[in-house]
Amino acid sequence: MAKIKTAFVCNDCGSEYSKWQGQCKDCGAWNTLSEIKLASGKSAKEARFQSYDGGAATAIKTLGEIDLDELPRFSCGAGEFDRVLGGGLVPGSSILIGGNPGAGKSTLLLQTMCHLAQNRSALYVTGEESLQQVAMRAQRLGLPTADLKMLSETNVEAICAKAQQLSPRVLVVDSIQAVHSDEISSAPGSVSQVRECAAYLTRFAKQTGTVLFLVGHVTKDGSLAGPKVLEHMIDCSIMLEGSDDSRFRTLRGQKNRFGAVNELGVFAMTEQGLKEVKNPSAIFLSRDTEPASGSVVMVVWEGTRPLLVEIQALVDESALGNPRRVAVGLEQNRLAMLLAVLHRHGGLQVGDQDVFANVVGGVKVLETSADLALLLAIVSSFRDRVLPRDLVVFGEVGLAGEIRPVPSGQERIQEAVKHGFRRAIVPKGNLPKQPIAGMEVIAVNKLAEALEAID
C-alpha cells in the first residue's frame, strides 16, 4: 500500500510545512496549522465516477456550441426555496446550507427531498442522526416517505460508492462536519477533513450531474464553520436565519452562480414543518393599531423583489456621559454617520440623547435605501409626532445632506400601492415619469425638504 503524503498548511497565511508545529514562522499565528492530504495519481484515479452524459462533459467545445437545454432546472417544490436558488435546481450543482442549531435546516431539506422523491430518485445521507430519528420527524410532519432513499453513513468514499449504484438526481449530506475520509488522519470536522470531503463530494456531483446539498454548521458569530475554501468550492451558499422567539425563518442566498445574490425567502415554522410565505411584506407590516411616534414604513430591495418593512426609532434623554447608539437590523456605524448628517444639514441636535433603531420582524437591512426612513423615524420620535400610517419612505442620504436615488424606484412604489399606501417620500431621481393612480409621490432633493414634508 502506497504511503499517503500529507502536509501542514497555515489557515491564516497558507504557508506549508512538512510537519506540525505550534507557531507559523511566516505570519506568527499560533495553532493554525492543519493537516491536508497531497494529491496523488492513485487517489485521483480512484475518484473518477461514471458521467451522467456519457463523457460529453469532458469534450472540448466552443462557448457557442454549448446547449443550455442539456441542464434544465427543476423545481424543489417550494417557491420561496426556488427563488433563493435562482429559479430551481441545476443538475451537477453543489449547494451549502447553514444556520444556527434548531433553525430548521434538516427539516427544510427533509421536506424538499420527500417532495422530490415522488418524481425522481433522491438519496438522503444522515451522519448525525439515526435512520429512526429521521423517520420519526418525517412521520410527525406528515411527509410522504414511501419513495425517499435513506442512508446512515459518515465515510465519504462509502457515500459516493452507494450513490454511484443508486444514481440519484438529488443527494443530501447532513452534515459535512460529520463526514470523514479514510485517507486523512485527523478527526471529522477538522479543516482538512471538511476540505477534502467537500471536494470529493463536489467532484462526484459535477461528474454525475447530481444536485448536492451539504448541511454546514455555524460558529458562535454566525459564520459558516470550516475553511473559507469550502464556500469557494460550492456553487450556492445559503443561510437559514431566525430567532428563537419568532416562528419565521429567512433563507438568504450569500453566493449563487445561477441566480441573484442576497435573494430572500421567508418561511413560517409550523407543526407541519416549514411553510413558505408568499407575501412577506404583509407579515412585516403587522403594525400596532394605535399610532405611535418613531415608526415609518420603508421599501427595501431583497434580491429580485421589493419588501416593505417597518423601521422604529426611540430617542430618549441619556443619563450617561456617553449617549448610546444601538441599531438592530441596521449597520451601527451608518447610524452614527446619519445622526451627524441630521445635525449638520437638518438642524437637529441629538448628541445628548440615546438613540435606538430597530427593523421590525428580524430583517437585516444591508442597503442604503433605508437612510431617509431611519432619519425620519428618529425625527418623529424626538419631536413625538406621529407620521401618517399610509406613508412610505426610501432614499439614500449623502454626507452633504443630499437625497440620492436608489435602484428599482418604480417597482418599490408599485409594491407600496399594492399594500394600500397613498403617500411616498422618495428621491427626486426616483420620481415616476407618469403619475401613479392612488399614490401621492413627494420628491425631495435635500434632507431639509424631507423634514418639511413631514411637518
Residues 398-441 pLDDT 10s? 999 999 999 999 999 999 999 999 999 999 999 998 888 889 99
Residue 13, domain member (yes or no):
yes
Residue 30, domain member (yes or no):
yes
DSSP 199: H
Higher pLDDT, 34 or 158: 158
CATH of the domain at 423: 3.30.230.10
Residue 437, domain member (yes or no):
yes
Confidence check: pLDDT of 275 > 50? yes
Residue 253, domain member (yes or no):
yes
Higher pLDDT, 278 or 213: 213
Provide the pLDDT for residue 182. Answer: 86
Query: What grid cell was written down for 355?
Result: 438613540
- What does the alpha-carbon distance between residue 298 and residue 371 come to, in Å, rounded to a whole number? 10
Residues 349 and 446 reside in one and the same domain: yes
Provide the pLDDT for residue 279. Answer: 82
**pLDDT above 70: percentage of residues in the chain:** 90
Task: Tell me the average pLDDT across 281-288.
Answer: 74
Higher pLDDT, 101 or 71: 101
Residues 228 and 268 reside in one and the same domain: yes
- Cell numbers 447532513 correspond to what residue? 174
Residues 297 and 223 reside in one and the same domain: no
Phi, psi of 296 (to 5 degrees): -155, 155
Residues 237 and 89 reside in one and the same domain: yes
Provide the pLDDT for residue 45. Answer: 41
Residue 66, domain member (yes or no):
no
Confidence check: pLDDT of 169 > 90? yes
Residue 47, domain member (yes or no):
no
Burial of 389 (0-12, 13-18, 19+ CB in 10 A): middle
Residues 98 and 123 reside in one and the same domain: yes
Residues 231 and 368 reside in one and the same domain: no
Provide the pLDDT for residue 4. Answer: 58
Confidence check: pLDDT of 319 > 70? yes
Q: How confident is the model at residue 11 (pLDDT cuts 50, 70, 90)?
A: confident
Over the stretch 339-359, which tens digit does the pLDDT of each residue have?
999 999 999 989 899 999 999
Domains of the chain: total: 3
Confidence check: pLDDT of 394 > 70? yes
User: Which domain, by its residues, includes 303?
Assistant: 283-453
Residues 194 and 288 reside in one and the same domain: no
The last residue of one of the domains, among 278, 305, 332, is 278
Provide the pLDDT for residue 287. Answer: 67
Residues 301 and 250 reside in one and the same domain: no
Confidence check: pLDDT of 276 > 80? yes
Confidence check: pLDDT of 57 > 60? no
Query: What grid cell was written down for 90?
Result: 441545476
CATH of the domain at 198: 3.40.50.300
Cross-strand partners of 441: 424
Task: Tell me the average pLDDT across 51-57.
Answer: 53
The last residue of one of the domains, among 263, 278, 293, is 278
- What does the alpha-carbon distance between residue 143 and residue 122 come to, in Å, rounded to a whole number? 15
Provide the pLDDT for residue 50. Answer: 59
Residue 64, domain member (yes or no):
no
Residues 321 and 427 reside in one and the same domain: yes
* Nearest partner of 300 among 288, 309, 287, judged by Cα: 309
Residues 238 and 357 reside in one and the same domain: no
Residues 243 and 318 reside in one and the same domain: no
How many Cα atoms sit within 13 Å of 224 on the Cβ side?
Answer: 25
Nearest-10 crossing angle of helices 105-116, 131-141: 80
Residues 329 and 416 reside in one and the same domain: yes
Provide the pLDDT for residue 326. Answer: 94
Residue 93, domain member (yes or no):
yes
How many Cα atoms sit within 13 Å of 45 on the Cβ side?
Answer: 3
pTM reported for the whole predicted model: 0.76
DSSP 129: S
The last residue of one of the domains, among 257, 278, 299, is 278
